[in-house]
């Protein structure tokens, strides 16, 4: 009877939720991301027998059995990614990290005045670009490169903008979706890897879509390691 090849256990590093960038101690800039997709991915990866570290800026209850790291801001997400990157095999950046943060947050609450308030913002660090540049860095499990997965939420030119992000940030997979998926329980995504055609995953519960994504990652990592 032919032997069945044992599936390689992958250490997933997954980010989820929308970050908060504080203007003062009580006010912040954020976005509408719920973290549902990232949590569904963490659950699907764990159910598939993999190790999972979940870096979360969401208030949701983490899935049972995953290593959980709570964060709040973009700089905290980046710090956590750098900390756990060495032992990861696959980074999935599902978090909606804010693109800008206040240049000089106020140390005390800003009092309301009868005049305009001008808020200066500066760009946050590009975590995905950093990961793409450093994916071949030596890691605990093996010397091979990590598999880097990014998300692209686009309200127009979905595929073309997502494909530009895939190339520019040296990613191994991009998952494109539209603003309608924010906070929703169901979603439609499109998946692209370099050198392969787009794969459209029809609308379904995020838990179902997450299982499809994890299977696609498993297949690509297996192919990469042959």
* CATH (domain of 29): 3.40.50.10300
pLDDT band at 142 (very low <50, low <70, confident <90, very high): low
Distance CA 214, CA 136 (A): 21
* Residue 153 covered by a domain: yes
* Residue 82 covered by a domain: yes
pTM of the entire predicted model: 0.93
* Residue 111 covered by a domain: no
Best CA proximity match to 147, nearest among 159, 157, 155, 139: 139
What does pLDDT average to over the chain?
93
Torsion of CA 189, 29, 170, 165, to 10 degrees: 50
- Token pair of 157, please? 């030119």
* Residue 193 covered by a domain: yes
Active site annotation includes 31: yes
Domain containing 124 equals 11-105+120-224
Helices (H), the chain: 36-47, 74-84, 127-134, 158-168, 206-224
How many structural domains comprise the chain?
A: 1
Q: 3-state DSSP call for residue 122?
A: strand
Q: Which of 31, 51, 157, 177 is catalytic?
A: 31
* Residue 64 covered by a domain: yes
Q: Are strands 186-192 and 28-29 parallel, antiparallel or unpaired?
A: unpaired
* Residue 110 covered by a domain: no
* Residue 115 covered by a domain: no
* Residue 5 covered by a domain: no
Helices (H), 16-124: 36-47, 74-84
Tens of pLDDT, residue by residue over 204-219, are 999 999 999 999 999 9
Tens of pLDDT, residue by residue over 113-134, are 999 999 999 999 999 999 999 9
Better pLDDT: 141 or 103: 103
- Token pair of 111, please? 């009092």
């Amino acid at each position: 009877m032919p032997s069945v090849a044992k599936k390689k256990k992958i250490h997933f590093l997954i980010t989820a939720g929308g970050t908060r960038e504080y203007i003062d101690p009580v006010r912040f800039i954020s976005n509408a991301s719920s973290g549902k997709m990232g949590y569904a991915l963490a659950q699907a990866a764990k159910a598939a027998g993999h190790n999972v570290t979940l870096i979360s800026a969401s208030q949701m209850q983490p899935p049972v059995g995953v290593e959980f790291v709570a964060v709040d801001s973009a700089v905290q997400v980046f710090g956590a990614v750098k900390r756990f990157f060495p032992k990861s095999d696959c980074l999935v950046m599902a978090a909606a990290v804010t693109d800008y943060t206040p240049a000089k947050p106020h140390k005390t609450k800003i009092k309301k005045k009868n005049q305009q308030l001008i808020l200066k913002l500066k760009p946050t660090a590009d975590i995905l670009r950093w990961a793409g540049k450093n994916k071949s860095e030596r890691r605990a499990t093996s010397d091979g490169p990590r598999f880097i997965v990014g998300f692209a939420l686009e309200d127009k030119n979905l595929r073309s903008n997502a494909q530009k992000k895939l190339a520019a940030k040296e990613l191994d997979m991009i998952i494109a979706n539209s603003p309608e998926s924010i906070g929703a329980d169901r979603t439609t995504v499109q998946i692209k890897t370099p050198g392969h055609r787009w794969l459209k995953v029809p609308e379904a519960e995020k838990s179902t879509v997450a299982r499809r994504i994890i299977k696609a990652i498993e297949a690509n990592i297996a192919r990469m390691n042959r």
